[in-house]
Structure 1
Amino acid sequence: MTDSFQKVAGFCSDCGSILPPLRGTGDVTCYSCSRVFAPEMLIDSNSKVHYTIHFNDRSTKGKQADKTGEDEEEGPIVERKCPKCGNEKMSYATLQLRSADEGQTVFYTCTKCKFKESENS
């Protein structure tokens, strides 16, 4: 059988449908036309793909202690003046506490004195 479509890794060369993910063992069967492909047929020898997956450490949540024993910030840092100590940097976190058609609530924490405040956006 001749291929109707140009050979592109991840797509069926008969019907053009996207193929299911390549597993560790076994052949791959097209969902649409049921053609069976050997794993070697699906790999494009001209390009190599490398994946790196980084997972969060489950043992630490929220604050983390750095090597000096000091606490790290609780989130992304923004330039916002702390009303208590005047520090120019605060970390923030957001939550949707009100109804869906209203803005989210932003919680700010001073990176110096740990003063906390919230703002409805």
Structure 2
Amino acid sequence: MEFCDECGSMMKADEELWVCGSCGNKQPKNPDANYVLTDDQEVSEVIETGAGDSGLPTTSAQCPNCDNDRAHWYMQQIRAADESETRFFVCTECEHKWREDDH
């Protein structure tokens, strides 16, 4: 990731150049740098469940699917940056997923 020397905005890769989407400034890429895009940078965050410990914290929450009273939870930004994050729950029994505002 590179930032524009002129305006400080994040630059986008275009062939052998970094191009600023805000001011149009162009900078050559460093030929000695190793720019690698890994698979996990291409995909949004995925929460895996069902394979043992999910690593997520648990809380008291009533599952709308099976009435279990425990669920894992995580926060995720799904709207614009100026909006608050949304809390998601995953039932510890049936792995049903729901959002805090779903019920």
TM-score range, shorter chain: 0.3 to 0.5
Which TM-score applies when normalising by structure 2?
A: 0.45
Bigger relative contact order, structure 1 or 2 (CA pairs below 8 A, ≥6 apart) = 2
